[in-house]
Structure 1
């Protein structure tokens, strides 16, 4: 997902790699992966280029998210805040 290897995804989401690999149906894994997918889908609505959306998810720091990336917001369990931000910019508000 997002061009991340399984070990990189585990590090990015602060989920042990063995849990992702051996227990992919674990509730905490599913919650974070679901949040990640929701945010990525929203990014694709704003810009349908998957590579650009992935780069934005991993690299662009957002002021209203305390200068964190969207991926960092998911890791910190603040995906709802990140989703609100994306909804606000899709509606024309500045973020």
Structure 2
């Protein structure tokens, strides 16, 4: 049985409608993917900044530890000198 012209038009309209929906769906997926890529890029920048900050803080802490060791040594030297002075009296 051969479809009528009206049936063919209905099928064509239905197909066009489905294709229009699909095009809108694809466009939505493209927007979502661009948004996700942008968010991922932003997160990568934040992680890079955190890595730099962590390195700077680690260097600062290492410098503070060195200074504390130096001060501890100087304090021990001063205490030793005071004890020696008191023993001489």
Structure with bigger gyration radius: 2
> Which structure features the higher share of helix residues?
2
Question: When the two structures are superposed, what TM-score results if normalisation uses the length of structure 1?
Answer: 0.24
Question: When the two structures are superposed, what TM-score results if normalisation uses the length of structure 2?
Answer: 0.26
